[in-house]
Structure 1
Amino acid sequence: MPRLRIQRATWPRPALILTDTPRPDCRNCEGIGGIEHLYGHPETGEYDGSDWEPCPCWREDRRWTLMPLPRLPRRRRPATEPWAASGYSDEPPF
Structure 2
Amino acid sequence: MMRLRLRVIGCPRRALTLLDAARPDCPDCHGEGGIHHDYGDETGEYAGTHWYPCDCSTRWCVVLMPLPRLPHMLRRRAHRDPWSDEPPF
The alignment's TM-score, normalised by the length of structure 1, stands at 0.59
The equivalent of 1:34 in structure 2 is 34
Gap runs ≥5 in structure 1: 77-94
Between the two proteins, the alignment pairs up a number of residues equal to 74
The equivalent of 2:13 in structure 1 is 13
Instruction: Please list every run of at least 4 consecutive aligned residues from structure 1 whose deviation after the TM superposition is greater than 6 angstroms.
Output: none
Code of the aligned partner of 2:57: W
Cα 1:23/1:39, change in 2 over 3 Å: same
Shift of 1:32: 0.7
Gap runs ≥5 in structure 2: 75-89
The alignment's TM-score, normalised by the length of structure 2, stands at 0.61
RMSD: 2.4
Cα 1:48/1:72, change in 2 over 3 Å: closer
